[in-house]
Structure 1
């Protein structure tokens, strides 16, 4: 007899039962885009929809996802909507660069992510986390109610500032985290003009005020880079080997331009700050509502800490901790959609013998949000069940069934990208 407790089912928008009209689609996308997806999005391997006569293919089948993102990646460019939203902020950062720019940047930055450098970052992460933990324990001594999402935003920014800049940030350090939140809130959201494919020069009402914050934040990044370059010139033997130094060492004709370094610093701040904070907050929330999972994690943590293992090895020695985090990423993926657009006609046949045609110009949405909650690929898809990701169960998962951070190389651009304004 199975005596396991029923798993916790965390909150999520209900599956929509009816089709929405064009105006309803725009309004829902502005309020919460996750409410757009109806029941069929969670039950069919793929489906086609139309918005203002524009065809969109929503893809959930792991094999078709691999075909689009990896096997035939040259036939797909990043969706115009995605680039209209993100390129004004990130320009040629890794998330928005395409084709040769992406390849050159990815190759240049590969040495930054070697195990040697990762071990150094791990030490910085640990020291910031321990300091935050001490403050957190003192602040909660009186039993005050805490907002875990705010707390994790504070923690992740402290870690980010230390690993990127060793704490050496130009301007007012106390306001930088708030500036990041304001920037992403004002500039990182889809606007009705984006959905209507209006060119970049058409004003986006929802981003009024965002340009001022973006310009301010880019000035902070540029001044921080200049401060570090000056230190590298004057005191070459006393320079922290953090992310900023490693990137600046890549500057040159065979590496990155200074503009691209600035773009990538902004990308890592934007992508590494909010996404990590949200993932940690959802993990802690789900674990707090799952006593058996919490107990397994706490026993595992106590055992590993008592062993004296190097902190760099902790994650591999804590399968329950890792599994809980990965399950939270499944339920609340940092990137709820991966948008592409077909360049030429394409087709794909499933192992079951069903063929899907993808015409040139069709927008393709790979939706981690619906894929991760899909009834064809997950048992109890809405439930928090970290055991899915324990080592003995991982082999049951298709590589393209779980995509918290996407997959495959950046596609080659086949159209002019929004211009860079300096």
Structure 2
């Protein structure tokens, strides 16, 4: 008799059965866009409607997604609404830059994210994670969402900046929350495509947090420049140095260097932090999935000290992380806008349409996944991976603008999970009642208070 328990179904908004009014839609989009989507979004290959800001196309069909993000990517620019939210924060960083600026930035950063460099980051990733877990006391209840923000900040500082980020880590975690709580939200005026001179309440509230990050960047760059002047050959050849060396008439401007630093400090660590937190939460609620993962980690760590090999040697650990990325994609929306109108398989995409590829929706689509709302890591076991279309699973995006740090994030996540789960067990408590909320990333409202017990 099969005694395997029913799969864990983690919290998520139920699809709407009645479309919201315009006023209600604006309120939902400001509060939590994940609560906006109705049953058709989770069942149809695409939705084409006239929204409050103009034509709206929600693309769920993998073939349509591939067309927009890859095959005809040249015809699609970053969506106006998305840029209105992100550009005030990131300016000409890699996530928001377009055209020649984007090409220069991508070229400048490519050497940092080659496999050779990423393998070189494994040892410092391991070092920082081991140091981090030593802070835990047996039996303590801690907010794991906050902890993962701190851990990934430590790893980012050590790997990409060689430990030389100006600023205090505790303040960093608080300010990143404040930044995403304010400027990271969709402002109703942006949805209406109101002129930029109209003040946005969200951006006014976020100015202090943004100034904090800009100050970190200015001081970080100044520290490294002084070191390069003192000892050009002894300075670390990391992300920061490579960016500064890319500065010049044919490369990056100083403003673009600083914008890319703030992109990686702010957004580059946040996505992995959220994914790690959701993974530990799902495993706590599905201990029958956690036990084989712990056994796998214990076996690998007992005979393989080289962390560059763990990703390949831990398929079950990788699968639970990838399933958490499916259920709670850190970047829940990819927004594009056509430069020229076109028709794809009978779907007319008009000029100025907001074309949304929503990993949140695509990852839970009824026609693409079996039991889409359940936590089932077996989907990503090696024997099953071939069943997943490349364009139905998009935690890192796709096409020319695919996340440059995807391999970095996967290695970081497996190393972090291996150390965390080999030393401790994370269990939910009565106060653990997270609710997914979209604020640039998919965040757990209320945090993730969990009991940390030594194994």
Could you state the TM-score of these two structures normalised by the residue count of structure 1? 0.91
Of 347, 352, 355, which residue of structure 2 is paired with 1:356?
347
Is residue 2:329 matched to residue 1:338? no
Name the SS of the counterpart of 1:365 in structure 2.
strand
Give the superposed CA RMSD: 1.7
Q: Which moved more, 1:58-67 or 1:143-152?
A: 143-152
* SS at 1:339 equivalent: strand
Q: Distance in 2 between matches of 1:53 and 1:82?
A: 13
**Could you say which residue in structure 1 is the equivalent of 2:221?**
225
2:150–2:169 Cα contact (<8 Å) kept: no
Give the Cα separation in 1 of the matches to 2:323 and 2:395: 10
Q: What SS does structure 2 have at the residue aligned with 1:56?
A: strand
Say if 2:398 is the partner of 1:407: yes
SS in 2 for 1:145: strand
Counterpart-to-counterpart distance in 1, 2:301 and 2:279: 20
The Cα of 1:361 is off from its aligned counterpart by 2.1
- The answer (yes or no) to whether the contact 2:296–2:314 under 8 Å persists in 1 is yes
Q: CA deviation at 1:178?
A: 2.0
Partner of residue 328 from structure 1, selected from 324, 328, 332 = 324
Instruction: Call closer, same or farther: CA 1:12–1:230 in 2, change over 3 Å.
Output: same
Change in CA separation of 1:52 and 1:170 when aligned onto 2, cut-off 3 Å: closer
Instruction: Summarize deviations over 1:296-329 as a string: whole Å, max 9, x none.
Output: 1111111111112410111111001111101000
Change (3 A) 1:77 1:237: closer
Query: How much does 1:391 deviate?
Result: 1.4
| Offset, 1:171 | 4.2
Hey, what's the Cα distance between the residues in 1 that align with 2:373 and 2:401? Answer: 30
Whether the aligned pair in 2 keeps the contact of 1:15 and 1:39 (CA below 8 Å) is yes
2:303 to 290, 303, 307: 307
User: What CA distance in whole angstroms lies between the structure 2 residues aligned with 1:164 and 1:112?
Assistant: 8
2:231 is aligned, of 204, 229, 235, to 235
How many residues were matched structurally?
Answer: 402
Aligned to 2:178: 182
Alignment check: 8 A CA contact 2:53 2:193 kept: no
Structure with higher strand content: 2
1:98 is the counterpart of 2:101: no
Q: For 1:13 and 1:178, locate their aligned partners in 2 and report how far apart those are by CA, in whole Å.
A: 27
CA contact (8 A) 1:193 1:204 kept: yes
TM-score, normalised by the number of residues in structure 2: 0.85
User: Runs of 5+ in structure 1 lacking a partner?
Assistant: 350-354, 412-422
Verify the 8 A CA contact 2:156 2:265 in the aligned structure 1. Answer: yes
Moved more, 33-42 or 239-248: 239-248
Aligned match of 1:414: none
- 2:150 aligned residue (150, 154, 158): 154
CA contact (8 A) 2:53 2:192 kept: no
* Unaligned stretches of 5+ residues in structure 2: 403-455
1:202 to partner: Cα distance: 1.7
Question: Which residue of 2 is the match for residue 19 of structure 1?
Answer: 19
Q: SS at the partner of 2:332?
A: coil
Alignment of 1:33-72 (within 5 A): 33-52=33-52, 54-72=54-72
Q: Cα 1:296–1:172, aligned 2, differ >3 Å: closer, same or farther?
A: closer
Whether contact under 8 Å (1:93, 1:267) holds in the other structure is: yes
Q: Are 1:389 and 2:385 an aligned pair?
A: no
Comparing 179-188 with 290-299, greater Cα deviation is found at 179-188
Whole-Å Cα distance in 1 between the matches of residues 252 and 300 of structure 2? 41
Moved more, 33-42 or 147-156: 147-156
Counterpart position of 2:366: 375
